[in-house]
Structure 1
Amino acid sequence: MNQPTTIQAKKWQIAPPVSAQVQADLADISPILQQILYNRGLVEPEAVQAFLDGRFPDSTDPFLLSDMDKAVARIEQAIANEETVVVYG
């Protein structure tokens, strides 16, 4: 039987802190939201505002997202095996 993985057994990857320049550019946004946006690669004020307003880039092709092909393959496998699928995010 598989033993549950403990949190101590995992290797955590901690994102670097927000740079001073990004902090200055996004000064009107809370520090925690700055960090979340920074972790997602959103550092330009225009891109941040578009994201927060729910405006999307011109292309809405989901396969432009990183590893979408892997995600689709895994979901198809789960469906074929009648596994439960949980989506986070």
Structure 2
Amino acid sequence: MVNPTGNLGIIGVYAADDPRGVDEHAKKREYLLPFGQLWGKGLIVGKSQTPVKKVILMLRNIIIAGATSPGFIVSHRISIEDVPDAY
């Protein structure tokens, strides 16, 4: 949900095709945006991608130094065998 004249931000999430998708768009990992509603509500759509290669070493060093602990974002722990079902 986005308020009229609001902003819709789309983060860089990429996935491979899924032959088990519920329809042809899901199988291709396509998401249909209702452009008529975007214009009608006056929304601003932005997208971006994290510059991972630029920041990964810095982030790793901050974690190793103990300056931060990213563990708080972990909500579940599962075995590698359970990943497909958890996804």
Shared fold (TM-score greater than 0.5)?
no
The alignment's TM-score, normalised by the length of structure 1, stands at 0.27
* Structure with bigger RCO (C-alpha 8 Å, 6+ apart): 2
Which is richer in helix? 1
Which is richer in strand? 2
The alignment's TM-score, normalised by the length of structure 2, stands at 0.28
